[in-house]
Structure 1
Amino acid sequence: MPKQSSLLGTALRQQRESKKLLLRQVAAAIEVDTAFISKVERGEKRASKEQLRKLATVLDLTEPFLSKLWLADKLIETIKGEDQASEALKLAAKQLKQTI
């Protein structure tokens, strides 16, 4: 079964294409290979926080926006397929609100 595309990957691809940048141009700008960027866009690899900072600059996006998508993808990957995923997220959100 193919991997579901990621929120981050979809946003990166849309922004890259809207700026008419090639994969290789983005890859060169953040000092990774083209295959890595392609895999991040398809949700097959996860970018590091440092790579997110560089991507934000190259693609004219904000780092908080990309970080939010990165974290959402990480949460989805962790809980997908769990019977109580939705309820667990609600509990976690409630707990986070109490600690902020």
Structure 2
Amino acid sequence: MSRSPDFCPHCGEELDSVVVRCPNCRTDLGRRTDGDSSKSAGLAALLSLLITGVGHLYLGAVARGAGWFVGGIGLAVILGLTIPELSPLSFLVPVAAAVDAYTLAS
């Protein structure tokens, strides 16, 4: 038995059933989960800090996590090839992804 996908009533973004807030427009969907099955904001942030975008995957925001992952690698490669002096700044991408994952989960 297949389930029809959920969509955000505000922006129309396709949603996973576990999200309580639309990852695209941040609309509160009014969904609440019990304490045992809720996703940890701290764990989402830690996962995205360790491997950029994985915290988003944990939260069910697959496209957003893939974007952070690909964007982070792309930025590191571009900076490394064009302006090697700025390549150490690519460490900011996982930090920003961790903040985004934390915000998404809370």
* TM bracket, shorter-chain basis: under 0.3
Length-normalised TM-score, structure 2: 0.27
